[in-house]
């Protein structure tokens, strides 16, 4: 998609505000993405434009709001569409009236079986005329997944259950928002920043029951809060009735000072007990993780130690390969992390560094696969072929790419390639994905035919240059 219009000029403003802008004499409303323009270079922006946002009024009527283009300011992308006046969702600005409108929209999303992914607060805009704009789902999902971890900590994690996504999590989100209004703070505050601890925290009902969390809370509101925190479904219509009660009678019953003090004292005791129990669970979870990883590493190392003994009695995997095929197999082993194949391609003294490196990545990836269900390692060759897209948090880039093998003689070769490895957390200041480190490498190889009839790399001269150097 072509960027329309000229660079805009705007004054400094709150990130939650919509951005008024004029392009080629026409007024628009801009949505600040917070993402670098570099992220969008390989993205089909026209596909993101195909899905409109929707404006909801108090009667449940819907009106489409379609993106018309994008522009850039100070390296950040801004999407724009027809002019509107309003402000993005802010927990500090949320009140009963706004929440009631949101719950009715939640019910509409469920009735229409909407492709709703979860509550991303940057996707909700409260307009000055009282209506609410839900920004295009595909656009906000793209922005959410491309955001750094700190932004997700502010706009995604505090509002969604880790195991109940999309429409299944609407009641939980409603309870979080309602309790935040009534209590004056998030019911799980402080929210854990570490993923496993945070997920475990949100899977449990809050340490305080609603009547202790919010002294004097009416029983009808406390009941629906409790059921929602427990994961009950089909409660949105009940929530709408409770919101009407809240509007007419208020949410709290009057309490005498003695009653309030008694409730607050009990709540304080339970909060302290809950914090102690939570710390114990975190310590045990860390220890159990260490035990699991240690056991897995011991098993893998045991297998690897026994493998050479077994292999010494078997013909090499490269038997029958021509010298060129041996070289090709060696470099393919980096991306497949096939240490056994690489060992049959090179003299172990010559290739010790490469072989140890591949073994370490293999062990780490398999332990993570067993514990998390994913390796977290991105194949460098596939990454380069796909246009070098931005890496997601929690992933590591490893391997070789653009391998060029030139024959210099009957058993000598020159190999030029890119080598990619995970970067260091010291390389960046933000909380997003750690950039990888890349090198341009040239290897000069010498092969010799062995007694068993296989060809083996017996000499290597390596030179490399940091890809970050000019």
- Which H, E and C letters describe 103-133, residue by residue? HHHHHHHHHCCCCCCCCCHHHEEEECCCCEE
Contacts of residues 379-388 at CB distance under 8 Å and 24 or more positions apart, as own/partner, are: 379/335, 380/334, 380/335, 380/418, 380/419, 380/420, 381/335, 382/335, 383/420, 384/418, 387/42
Cα gap 180→173, rounded to integer Å: 11
DSSP 466: E
The answer to whether the CB of 167 falls within 8 A of the CB of 116 is yes
Q: Map out the domains of the chain as residue ranges.
A: 1-98+112-151, 160-284, 315-466
From residue 276, alpha-carbon distances to 185, 273, 283 in Å are 21, 5, 11
Residue closest to 395 by CA, chosen among 379, 371, 418, 412: 379
DSSP 369: H
Query: Which regions of the chain are under pLDDT 50?
Result: 1-13, 276, 281-285, 287-291, 309-312, 426-432, 470
**N-term to C-term CA, the chain:** 31
Question: Residue 279: its pLDDT value, please?
Answer: 53
Residue closest to 186 by CA, chosen among 167, 170, 197, 202: 202
Residue closest to 77 by CA, chosen among 124, 12, 147, 25: 147
| Helix (H), strand (E) at residue 442 | strand 437-449
For 55-94, letters b (16+ CB in 10 Å) and e give: bbeeeeeeeebebbbbbebeeebbbbbeebebebbebeeb
pTM over 0.95: no
Question: Residue 38: its pLDDT value, please?
Answer: 65
Q: What angle do helix axes 352-372 and 257-311 make, rounded to 10 degrees? A: 140
Cα gap 19→112, rounded to integer Å: 31
Contacts of residues 372-375 at CB distance under 8 Å and 24 or more positions apart, as own/partner, are: none
From residue 63, alpha-carbon distances to 59, 120, 132 in Å are 12, 20, 10
For 175-214, letters b (16+ CB in 10 Å) and e give: bbbbbbbbbeebbbeeebeeeebbebbbeebbbbbbbbbb
Could you give the dihedral angle defined by the CA atoms of residues 320, 324, 328 and 333, in that order, rounded to the nearest 10 degrees?
Answer: 50
Beta bridge partner(s), residue 149: none
Residue 135, C-beta contacts closer than 8 angstroms, at least 6 positions apart: 31, 53, 65, 122, 123, 124, 125
* Domain 315-466 CATH assignment equals 3.10.450: yes
Q: Is the peptide bond before 166 cis (omega within 30 degrees of 0)?
A: no
The answer to whether the CB of 36 falls within 8 A of the CB of 390 is no
Cα gap 77→86, rounded to integer Å: 19
Residue closest to 328 by CA, chosen among 221, 192, 230, 455: 455
Question: Residue 182: its pLDDT value, please?
Answer: 95
SS3 state at 68: coil
Question: Residue 8: its pLDDT value, please?
Answer: 37
């Amino acid at each position: 998609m072509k960027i329309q219009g000229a660079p805009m000029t705007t004054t400094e403003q709150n990130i939650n505000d919509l951005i008024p802008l004029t392009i080629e004499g026409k007024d628009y409303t801009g949505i600040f993405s917070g993402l670098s323009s570099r992220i969008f270079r390989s993205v089909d922006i026209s596909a993101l434009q195909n899905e409109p946002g929707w404006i909801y009024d108090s009667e449940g009527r819907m009106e489409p709001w379609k993106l018309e283009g994008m522009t850039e300011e100070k390296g950040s992308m801004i999407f724009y569409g027809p002019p509107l006046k309003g402000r993005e969702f802010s927990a500090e600005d949320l009140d009963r009236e706004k929440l009631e409108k949101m719950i009715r929209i939640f019910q509409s999303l469920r009735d229409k079986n909407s492709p709703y992914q979860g509550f991303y607060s940057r996707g909700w805009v409260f307009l000055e005329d009282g209506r609410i704009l839900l920004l295009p789902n595909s656009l906000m999902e793209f922005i959410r997944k491309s955001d750094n971890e700190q932004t997700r900590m502010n706009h995604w994690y505090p509002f969604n259950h880790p195991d109940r996504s999309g429409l299944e999590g609407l009641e939980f989100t409603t309870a979080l928002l309602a309790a935040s209004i009534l209590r004056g703070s998030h019911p799980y505050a402080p929210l854990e920043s570490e993923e496993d601890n945070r997920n475990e925290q949100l899977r449990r009902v809050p340490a305080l029951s609603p009547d202790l969390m919010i002294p004097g809370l009416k029983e009808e509101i406390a009941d629906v809060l409790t059921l929602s925190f427990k994961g009950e479904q089909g409660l949105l219509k009940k929530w709408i009735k409770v919101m009407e009660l809240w509007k007419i009678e208020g949410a709290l019953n009057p309490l005498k000072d003695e009653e309030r003090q008694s409730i607050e004292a009990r709540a304080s005791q339970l909060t302290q007990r809950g914090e102690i129990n939570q710390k114990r669970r975190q310590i045990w979870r860390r220890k159990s993780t260490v035990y699991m990883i240690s056991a897995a590493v011991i098993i893998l190392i045991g297998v690897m130690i026994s493998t050479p003994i077994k292999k010494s009695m078997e013909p090499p995997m490269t038997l029958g390969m021509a010298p060129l095929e041996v070289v090709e197999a060696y470099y393919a082993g980096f991306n497949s992390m096939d240490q056994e194949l690489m060992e049959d391609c090179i003299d172990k003294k010559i290739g010790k560094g490469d072989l140890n490196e591949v073994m370490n990545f293999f062990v780490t990836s398999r332990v993570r696969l067993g514990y998390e269900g994913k390796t977290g390692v991105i194949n460098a060759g596939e990454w380069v072929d796909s246009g070098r897209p931005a890496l997601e948090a929690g992933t590591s880039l490893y391997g070789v790419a653009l391998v060029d093998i030139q024959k210099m003689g009957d058993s000598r070769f020159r190999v030029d390639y890119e080598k990619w490895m995970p970067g260091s957390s010291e390389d960046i200041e933000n909380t997003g994905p750690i950039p990888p480190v890349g090198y341009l490498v040239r290897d000069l190889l010498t092969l010799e035919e062995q007694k068993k009839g296989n060809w083996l790399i017996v000499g290597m001269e390596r030179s490399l240059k940091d890809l970050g150097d000019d």
